[in-house]
Every structure is written in C-alpha cells, then in structure tokens.
Structure 1
C-alpha cells in the first residue's frame, strides 16, 4: 500500500511540475500565448502523468479490494513482486497511451498561427485551433 502511495505522490509532484514552470514564465513575461512545440511537450507530459495516475489509482483500488475481501491471503496475493509488476505496467501503459494521444494530435491540420492564447496548454483549447475533424481526439 505504501509503495503505491509513494508512486502516487511522485506522480502528483510531477503532474504539477509539468505545467507550472511554463505557466510562471508566461505570467512573468506577460505573454498570453504558448508556442506549438512547448504546448506539445507540455501536453505529452501532462497526459503521461494523468494516465499513469488513473492507472495507479486502479491498482490501489485492487489492493484495497484484496485487503478487504481476502484478508488472510493478502500478503500472498499482493506481495512485493506483484506490486512492482503492476506499477511498471501502469507507467508503461501511461507512456503508451499518452504517445497515442500525441500522435493523433500531431496528425491534425492547424489553420493560421500556431499559438494558443492561454497561460498553459489546455487540450481543448488546442483542439479548437485545429481545422480538421477532432472527433477521435476528444
């Protein structure tokens, strides 16, 4: 349980760190737009941590299910190896899912200037700039 909580804490710190530096830079320099490359990188890291956080929470719920429903077998079912394998699978799936989202995002055609008028790159704001069909991205 504490092993999974430590990963969730790392994800939460990284989650905030992926958006905060760029947003603070834009606030200090009084810029209201973000470049396309910066937005893409920020979106990729945001999606990695968001996807991984959801998957870690899913593993934590399974851990609690085993602890409540099978208390006598908990240590044999959720041993150190199982927790490690599940956590590595969560991180790998988080990277893979965010890469799929990023590839689908990069295939979109964009009209006009490639800047988003926000302090940080919000996915829906970027999809509003796209000219093509964004159904699969939503």
Structure 2
C-alpha cells in the first residue's frame, strides 16, 4: 500500500535513519510526539542497548519518540501497534468496513487506549495507512 508522507515526516525519517541506522517505513508527526514504523526485525537496533539509541534520537530531535514494529499480516500489525498492551487475539471483519476486533485483557485496556486515546488513535491511523483497516475496536 502506498503511503504519502509530508515533507516534515520525510525529514524526521531521514534524521532518525542517520541517528539510529534504521530506516523507518512511516512517520506520524503528532505535535511533540513522533511515531516511527520500523521494519520487522529492526526494533532492537532502533531502541539500542538499554534504550540508549532511541533516547539519543529523542534528545537530538527534541521530540518524544514511539516505535511500532511492522508485521507481515494485518492481525500481527494491529497487535504490534497496540504494544505494550497484551493482545490475546485480533479478528479482521471484512463486511462493509474492515474492522479489527482486538481482544485485550481488562488490566491492559488503559495501555491499549493510552492517555486521551493517543495509542489507539495512532494504531488506527497506521492500520488504515498500511492495511486499509477502517477501525480498531477493543473487546
């Protein structure tokens, strides 16, 4: 699926790549927060030992950085986008709209939703951009 990036997002992707050696596939610029979609298998390199690499990137970019790891299937992608919340199962309904129904244990619902709904909105945006999923619902 083709993702159109703003000039600002492209600049942040380039800078993040320079600082970490990991080239993100996507970047969401959300005020003082950046969300990078890193290729599958590259999360450890992007984070660095004890988080040093991503912390240095946050300092240099003067933004809070969150990372989401790409996945091969829409179900795995949705689960990854909601991390660190525990996800028991993801079911994609392909009726009129593509909706991902996500089974999350009650103690992790707050983590999946995030402060002011930030985490689930980020997951919805990324899932729409990369897998044409119209909505994510927690069950």
TM-score by length of 2: 0.25
> Would you tell me which structure has more strand in proportion to its own residues?
2
Higher-RCO chain (CA-CA 8 Å, sequence separation at least 6): 1
Instruction: Output the TM-score relative to the length of structure 1.
Output: 0.25
Q: Which has the larger radius of gyration?
A: 1
Structure with the larger helix share: 1
